[in-house]
Amino acid sequence: MGTYHPELTKAWLYPPSLGLPRTLPFFRAMEALQRRFISPKARKVSVSETADVYFVGPPSGRTPAPALLWMHGGGLVIGTAVSEFSFTLERYSPHMDVAMAFVEYRLAPEHPFPAALDDCAAALEWLAAQPDVDSSRIAIGGVSAGGGLAAGLALRARDEMDVQPVFQLLIYPMIDDRTAHRTDLDDMPAKLWNQTCNRFGWSSYLAGATGDDVHSHAAPSRAEDLSGLPPAWIGVGTLDLFHDENVEYARRLQEAGVPCELKVVEGGYHGFDLGRAPVVQDFHRSQIDALGAAFDPDPAG
C-alpha cells in the first residue's frame, strides 16, 4: 500500500478510524458543544427552514466580493460547520479578499439524500442573492464528504439551478459509493476514514438505494455526463481510501472538457493536511493559487 510521506511524521497520532457507527452518539454530543463556541466573526443566517449558514465578509470590507461556499466533512453522518470554521478561515482569508459562508446541513441517517444537498443548494442561492457578494464569482468547496457535496452541488447547479459556481474545490472528496463495496480495501491501513466508516456513511446517506437507483447528485462519480461543470481542483493522498475515485473523477472531468487540476500527494492519508509540514503547506498553496485564478483569471487585465 506504500508508506507515509516522510514529512508526515505524526501519522501514528491519527486513529485508524472513527469507530462509526458505535461512536456516533459521542461525536454528536461533542458537536453540540462545538456550536457554543463559534467565532464572533461569523454571522449566523437561516437560509431555509432546515439550513443555516455562518457568513463572514471579505477582510477588506470591499464589496461586491467573490465568495467561497464551504461544506464540512464528516462522512455525511457527523461534523458541523463550526468544527471547520476557524482553520478554514485561517487557511484562505489571509491570501485573498473573499467572503466565506459555511453551511450547517442536515446529517444522515436521520436525514438521507437529498436533505444535505437541498441545504447546500439553499445556501448557494442565498449567497448569490447577497448584495455584497459577486454572484458571478462564487466557488464551492469542502473536504471529504463536504467535497462530495460540493461536487454534487456543481452537478445540481448545472442541471437545475440558475446560480452557476465559477469553481469547485474538492479536497479528497467522497464521491463514489461503489468504493464502499470494494473488499480489496478492507485491510488498507486508512487513517481517520476506513471501509467500516465508509460503508456506514454511504448506507446512511443513500438509505438503501443501490446500483442504478443511486442519483448522480448523491454520488457524483455515477454521473454519465460531466461536461459543462465549473473548473475544478482535486487533491488527495495516495494512502487515502478515496484516492482511486478522486483520480478517476479528475480524469473524466478533463476528458469532458472541464479544466481540472489534480494534486496527488505521495504518502498522504485522509486528513493529512491538518498539520503544518512543508508538504501540507504546498498542498494548501496549490488550493489558494487555484482559487485566486478562478476569482481573478486575468489579474493583469
**Residues with a known catalytic role:** 144, 240, 270
How far apart are alpha carbons 159 and 266 in whole angstroms? 35
DSSP symbols for the chain: -----TT-TTGGGS-S---TTTTHHHHHHHHHHHGGG--TT-EEEE-SSS-EEEEE--TT--SSEEEEEEE--STTTS--HHHHHHHHHHHHGGGS--EEEEEE---TTTS-TTHHHHHHHHHHHHHHT-TTEEEEEEEEEEETHHHHHHHHHHHHHHHH-S---SEEEEES----GGGGG-GGGTT---SS--HHHHHHHHHHHHTT--GGGS-TTTSGGG-S--TTPPPEEEEEETTSTTHHHHHHHHHHHHHTT--EEEEEETT--TTGGGS--HHHHHHHHHHHHHHHHHH-S-TT-
Residues 6+ apart with CB under 8 A from 186: 195
205, 181, 201: which is closest to 193 by C-alpha?
Answer: 201
How far apart are alpha carbons 290 and 115 in whole angstroms? 30
How far apart are alpha carbons 81 and 160 in whole angstroms? 25
Q: Tell me the three cell numbers of residue 96.
A: 485573498
